[in-house]
Structure 1
Amino acid sequence: MLSTPLTAQFLHGTAELERTARGLRPHRLPGWVRERFPDPQLLMVEGQPSGVRVVLTTSARTVSLVSHPLRVAYRGADRPRGAVDLVLDGEPVASSVLDGGDLIEADLETGATEFRPGLPHTTTFDGLPAGDKLVELWLPHNESVELVELRSDAPVAPVEPTRRLWLHHGSSISHGSNASTPTQIWPAVAARLGDVDLRNLGFGGSALVDPFLARVIRDTPADLISVKLGINVVNLDGMRLRTFVPAVHGFLDTIRDGHPTTPLVLASPIFCGIHEDTPGPGAVDPDALGTGQLRFVATGRSEEQQQGKLTLRVIRDALAAVVERRGDPNLHHLDGTTLYGADDAVEHPLPDALHPDTATHRLIGERFARYAFAGTGPFTSS
């Protein structure tokens, strides 16, 4: 087997690569953000390479990726391991679940954490078809990894991106929470159907209208941009209506400083029954602890809307009004309930009352692709 040093040329969908003692750690946010705002939640989720893939051309029949994973688990809750997905010539064909790696186990009742070191993991895909082909190894969306080595039985070469680049920012749903594998998160589904390259800035718990995220989007090359805001603001109880609306305007202003005419979709939250009419903060349901499954609840009171507390219905109305008032012909509003609404919640309930499962991620991705990439949608090719 040949060993090929991994370099930035092989990695698509990252902001930076950090050189570690083991190899390379992909980051989805630049170093200046991580240094200026080292919030533990943000650092954890930006280090999980959702949408990041190793891309190469080769005639190899066997390709292996050696990595050292790091995962966060919650005591008493069953959370699936991350996976590496194999995509050949644009089509997902296989998936391999990670093993080993380091573990941080957290106790949601006490807040205590325990670190357990582990061994590297080798992901191997063999029996690949003969001849030259485009190979993509999609890295896990729900675990961070250090990339140690790329092995193959024939030479490999990096690939320069040629398709339009879609940059998407959102919450844990955009990050891919509860989806089984990295190519099954809804932005990956939509990107494949839209024939675009994905740069995923979906960050679990961290779509909070942060000014530094707007600057990252402003400074990142992109042909298409979407921003999905609302659910994290509600379940953090992070803003009131008076502060939320001007913050969104400022967020869009900053993006437009770098992308004055780029097609831009502002999407509101999908349906989430616990927060439709009940403000946050959200919390882990204490009755679910020890059952093996996490569930979430809203702890606010509906009448608090009178003091400006936010619910999902309030946010949807506010975002629609923001788009209408800006008069930007390249800014488009997408009501998130057209991606997943109250009727869908009956047929495809959110397993933990907050995040969609794999089948629902696919449904959301297909609907976004029909909205954005088909017909006269905002992301159709000119």
Structure 2
Amino acid sequence: MILCYSLYMLPLFVKYAPKSLVEFVGQKKGIAELKQFIEDFSRKKTKKACLLFGPPGCGKTAAVYALANDMQLEVLELNASDFRNKDIINKVVGEASKQRSLFSFAKGKLLLIEEVDGMSGNEDRGGLSALRGVIAQSKFPVIMTANDAYTRKLVELRRSCKLIQFNELTTLEVYKIIKRIVQEEKLDISDFVLMKIARLSEGDARAAINDIHSFSNEVGLVDDLRDKKESILKALMKVLKTVDIDVALRAFDRIDVDFDECVLWLDENLPREYKDAESLAKAYDILSKVDVLRGRILRRQHWRFLGYMYNLATAGVALSKKQKLVGYVKYQRNDRILKMWIARRANSKLEEVLRKIAEKTHSSVNKVRKNFRFYLTILRDMAVAEWLGLGEEIQNIVKK
């Protein structure tokens, strides 16, 4: 059976990916270097691979495909996360780097390996060294992409590659990209809204394109982007009741609640809504992935995962059920939220004590915190506490 996909079924960032470098917005220096690399490779005047690096959504993959179209090259794309260990890389990537193009129209071939900076840990052992071996034997140019080319695990790989940097897109460049799509799709979105989307994207064109897709499907006028605050209960209903991906994705956009707290609300109320065991298991599996990504952000400062966390906690949880849910369910606050609030309140009071001691003793807050056990004995004297200007409530905390 042959499946035929209409252009209308494609995501907008795929449908409107530049077919030629003439259509490409921004990255002039990086694209010139990338084109020069391909030309030099054919004359054997450069390294066999280049490492194309830059933030998410800056056009790394799109540039490779646009350049390949212009130069009539076949692109064989592989993702490093799919071919991770030494044996698989040697078998799959190694063979692909030696085979000629299967298409008669192509004048050559290039090998595109995405997200090489995502290879790490025991399951990837030997993967990067195998990749270096494949590059050395490749008959075709190898282009690899990464968000961060200067992570320690890529030290050896960098030596065998030409480094090409793509910078974060400017707000104006993102605006030009999404403006063209809006005109082609005949969407009713004003320039004011488009510029706001471009600013909020922080240079990520893919995120901005996804945003205009979501806005175009939202009920009501897209231009009405006033900051109407919603309650957490209403936001939860948009995730837990619906199976509409666009509604779910924007569920937490207009609430004054921290994202981590939203996840705790979902954790507490999922069993109240999802009575089907399979749907509940899927939803909790997705929330566990949110927690894993949060841990990676805290440990490695990989802030690009934040968008994935948001999408998983909203659309991911919403689509884990089989159908739209109806009926009233009373949502409850997670006990951990109350404990977090109490802890934050206690810490703020402690910080006030530390600050006042630091002012009176002409010390730094960190030094006072380090020697706080000593200061505690002095603070038990009411005269000292009054001299510091501590309130009665804080004095009671110190006495405890």
TM-score, normalization by structure 2? 0.23
Give the structure with the larger strand fraction: 1
* Structure of higher CA gyration radius: 2
TM-score, normalization by structure 1? 0.24
